[in-house]
């Protein structure tokens, strides 16, 4: 009987640790997604400004930004919408998670 109680407590403790680890991983995953979006936003701004400084105009498209200014992101995770007005107006963009 004592052996059974000890094993049950060990099993319960193992399950509790497992649940705590899973909860921590979920929290960490949500935090990483937020940081990833902020990092992408900074990269977009940096690339847009770098283009303006180097060429005297803003990039005409998101593809130009990706191709010439090394802005990259996981297209499965994020959708980026790029709004270009003219070569002397700062473009706007939105980043959404999929």
- Per-residue pLDDT band at 32 (split at 50, 70, 90): low
Check: CB of residue 67 under 8 Å from CB of residue 51.
Answer: no
User: What's the pLDDT at 14?
Assistant: 75
CA distances from 45 to 2, 22, 97 (A): 65, 35, 18
Q: How do residues 36-48 score in pLDDT, each as one tens digit?
A: 889 999 999 999 9
Identify which has the larger pLDDT, 4 or 69: 69
Which of 70, 93, 71 has the alpha carbon at shortest distance from 83? 93
Looking at residue 2, what DSSP letter applies? Answer: H
Mean of pLDDT over the chain = 85
Check: CB of residue 69 under 8 Å from CB of residue 82.
Answer: no
Looking at residue 95, what DSSP letter applies? Answer: E
Report field, pTM of the whole predicted structure over 0.85:
no
Distance of CA 24 to the CA centre of its chain: 18
Q: How do residues 65-78 score in pLDDT, each as one tens digit?
A: 999 998 999 999 89
Q: How do residues 77-86 score in pLDDT, each as one tens digit?
A: 899 999 999 9
């Amino acid at each position: 009987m004592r052996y059974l109680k000890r094993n049950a407590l060990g099993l319960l403790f193992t399950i509790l640790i497992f649940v705590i680890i899973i909860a921590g991983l979920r929290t960490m995953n949500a935090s990483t997604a937020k940081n990833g979006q902020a990092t992408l936003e900074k990269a977009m701004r940096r690339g847009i400004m770098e283009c303006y400084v180097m060429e005297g105009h803003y990039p005409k498209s998101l593809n130009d930004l990706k191709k010439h200014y090394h802005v990259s992101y996981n297209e499965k995770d994020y959708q980026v919408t790029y709004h270009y007005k003219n070569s002397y107006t700062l473009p706007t963009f939105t980043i959404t998670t999929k």
